[in-house]
Structure 1
Amino acid sequence: MAKKSGGGGCLVLVLVVGLLAFGYYKWQHGSSSAPPEGVDTGGGSGRYVALGDSYTSSPRTGRQAGTPAGCDRSDDNYPHLVSAKLKPAQFVDVSCSGATTANLSAAQKTGNGTNPPQLDAVTAETTLVTLGIGGNDVGFFSYASGCATTNQNASPCRDRLTAGGRDELAERIDATAPKVAAVLDRIHQKAPKAKVVVVGYPAVLPDGAGCWPSLPFGAGDIEYFRGALGKLNKMLEEKADAHRAGYADTATPGKGHDVCSASDKRWVEGLLPASPAAPLHPNARGEQGMADAVLSVLKLP
């Protein structure tokens, strides 16, 4: 009996060690498990760098933060909210409206000034990086501008983008995947001590047929773009998983807070914003929801 008990104790120990190792692995590979032990960001220590596009910079939701003015960076975007909670020794937000993965390693010209390559802000002393990118590589908003229709049953964008058996948005998502992977590898090279969190896109469109004519897109296009955004988020999560990063899922908590929800509930504004925000972009409530998703990955309340 004693021999069997000892063997069981060894098995339990192996299982516990395995689970602890699995928790470490899952942080490194994209879950919201507790981050590994290491350099902390917060409480007056560490350096937090925020990279991203307009869903990160959050145009028009608050006062302008930093330069250039053309990046439309607000002082109440999710990086600022995360920083206010963490209180790092250094905080740098270089997100910029219109940014693509190319603008992480190359300068971005805006309508009012030039944003340096965003990766320039990532240094060896950096201990936390958040990354929100990919939507402009796929071109969601450039396509969406031509989708308005007077027929709520029409789907002009889906019909055009899937003509000939192709799926242009799916192809663009696939083409963006290696670019995101390369960016994550570069971040790790530049900041080997840093925790990295990829931030997904919130739920922009509702389940179902939408809210035509308030959002003048036909039911088919609503379904098509909703599905494409889901594919983009899945790709971002997979790249985070494969490249030692956490993933902040903002779509799940954002469900029911889409452009068709009540004005006092929505996280993302419609074509005619009811709250300060750019059209089809997060408002201040949405940026808070995105900040909460990041803090959840970091295991902070």
Structure 2
Amino acid sequence: MAAAVRYVALGDSYSSGVGSGSYVAASGSCDRSTLAYSQLWTNANRPASFTFAACSGATTTDVVDNQVTALSPTTTLVSITIGGNDVNFAGVMQDCVLFSTSTCVSEIDAAENTARTRLPGWLDSAYSAIRSHAPNARVVVLSYPRFYDTSVWWCIGLSSTDRSKINEGADVLDGVIQAAAQRHGFAFADVRSRFAAGHEICDGSSSWLHSVDWTDLSQSYHPTAGGQSGGYLPTFSAAA
């Protein structure tokens, strides 16, 4: 189906598949999962080549320094999630669980300010490097989900103010990412509506997102295997 496609998956933990399990031992701390959306797409479409360069913890600087070398003029398709680590969004959300609502709100306000003022330039650097190394590729930039179903009043752990503020922060981050993608002529693929259809935190067993996991903090606020296959995979497939 995709015999002429040469696909490279870049990005952070949302693209490496943290939270979905089944990690490839050889990927080390990058935690690349066989259940990540890029691998699932590759399994279904069988491109001519697939390079899995996404890495847990990656920032825009890591994309420029360590990931774009996987690209070439023969690359035809690129996917990426990036930007969340640049504003420490996962760390902020963990603090929202650990500390007071006022702390949560102030930390998210600070992250939003960084997203609005500094992240555009960082994204421009990363996206320019991608285009420079892969001048002929279709580049698909995927969003982050909103995290909490705010319509569920019985959700344990965070106040409704915290949950709404976290969602607001995700929307600000995604808005900055979407604008940057459009500046560079990249496709923006938004996963939020798929997760919002009953698959956010507080939606019980149907949730596609991990809440804070005290046994493995690294997967907190990351998609489950269901979030990769049900949220990210179809969103990417529609844009690829």
What TM-score does the superposition give when structure 2 sets the normalisation length? 0.89
- Structure showing the higher helix proportion among its residues: 2
Partner secondary structure for residue 105 of structure 1: helix
d(CA) in 1 for partners of 2:19 and 2:161?
A: 30
User: Structure 1: how far apart are the matches of 2:34 and 2:71?
Assistant: 20
Aligned AA (1:57): S
Task: Name the SS of the counterpart of 2:236 in structure 1.
Answer: helix
In 2, the alpha carbon distance for the partners of 1:269 and 1:247 equals 24
Q: Is it true that 1:124 corresponds to 2:124 in the alignment? A: no
1:161 aligned to 2:107?
yes
Query: Quick one: distance in 1 between partners of 2:213 and 2:28?
Result: 23
Q: Deviations over 1:232-275 (max 9, x none)?
A: 11111111111110011101111021111121x211122249xx
1:195 and 2:138 are equivalent in the alignment = yes
Hey, what does 1:143 align to over in structure 2? Answer: 92
* Structure 1 residue 56: Cα displacement: 1.0
* Aligned residue among 134, 137, 154 for 2:83: 134
Aligned to 1:206: 149
Deviation at 1:69, TM superposition (A): 1.2
In structure 2, the CA distance between the partners of 1:149 and 1:210, relative to structure 1 (3 Å rule), is: farther
Instruction: Give the distance between the partners of 1:209 and 1:222, measured in 2 at CA.
Output: 10
Unaligned runs of 5+ in 1: 1-41, 107-116
2:191 corresponds to 1:250: yes
Task: Give the count of matched residue pairs.
Answer: 235
Compare CA radii of gyration and give the structure with the larger one: 1
What corresponds to 1:52 in structure 2?
11
Offset, 1:141: 1.4
User: Letter of the aligned partner of 1:223 in structure 2?
Assistant: S
Cα 1:260/1:198, change in 2 over 3 Å:
same
Shift of 1:84: 1.9
Cα separation, 1, equivalents of 2:176 and 2:112: 10
Q: Tell me, in whole angstroms, the C-alpha distance in 2 between the residues paired with 1:87 and 1:199.
A: 21
Task: Report if aligned partners of 2:69, 2:133 keep a CA contact under 8 Å in 1.
Answer: no
Q: Sort the Cα spacing of 1:195 and 1:266 in 2 relative to 1 into closer, same or farther, 3 A.
A: same
Tell whether the 8 Å contact from 2:64 to 2:129 is kept in structure 1 after alignment: no
2:102 corresponds to which letter in structure 1? Answer: P
User: More displaced, 46-55 or 217-226?
Assistant: 217-226
Counterpart of 1:85, as a letter, is: A
Q: CA RMSD in A?
A: 2.2
How far off is 1:181 after superposition? 1.9
> Given the superposition, is the C-alpha separation of residues 43 and 147 from structure 1 closer, same or farther in structure 2, using an over 3 Å criterion?
closer
How far 1:64 sits from its partner (Å)? 2.2
Q: Which amino acid aligns with 2:115?
A: I
The Cα offsets for residues 106-155 of structure 1, whole Å up to 9 and x where unpaired, read as: 2xxxxxxxxxx0111011111000010111111111122222269xxx61
1:184 aligns with 2:130: no
Match of 2:161 in 1: 220
1:268 equivalent in alignment to 2:214? no
Relative distance call for 1:98 and 1:266 in structure 2 (3 A) is same
2:201 pairs, out of 256, 259, 277, with: 259
Q: CA deviation at 1:224?
A: 1.2
Deviation at 1:208, TM superposition (A): 4.1
Structure 1 contact 101–180 (Cα < 8 Å) conserved: yes
Query: Secondary structure, in 3 states, of the residue corresponding to 2:95?
Result: coil
1:270 and 1:70 mapped to 2: Cα distance? 21
The answer to whether residue 223 in structure 2 is matched with residue 295 in structure 1 is: no
Residues 64, 149 of structure 1: alpha-carbon distance in 2 compared, 3 angstrom cutoff:
closer
Asked if residue 79 in structure 1 is aligned to residue 38 in structure 2, the reply is: yes
Shift of 1:60: 4.8
Find the residue that maps to 2:97 and give its secondary structure: coil
Using the alignment, how far apart are the partners of 1:125 and 1:82 within structure 2?
19
Secondary structure of residue in 2 paired with 1:146: helix
Q: Deviations over 1:145-168 (max 9, x none)?
A: 222269xxx613344337xxxx31
Q: Distance between the aligned counterparts of 2:233 and 2:10, measured in 1? A: 14
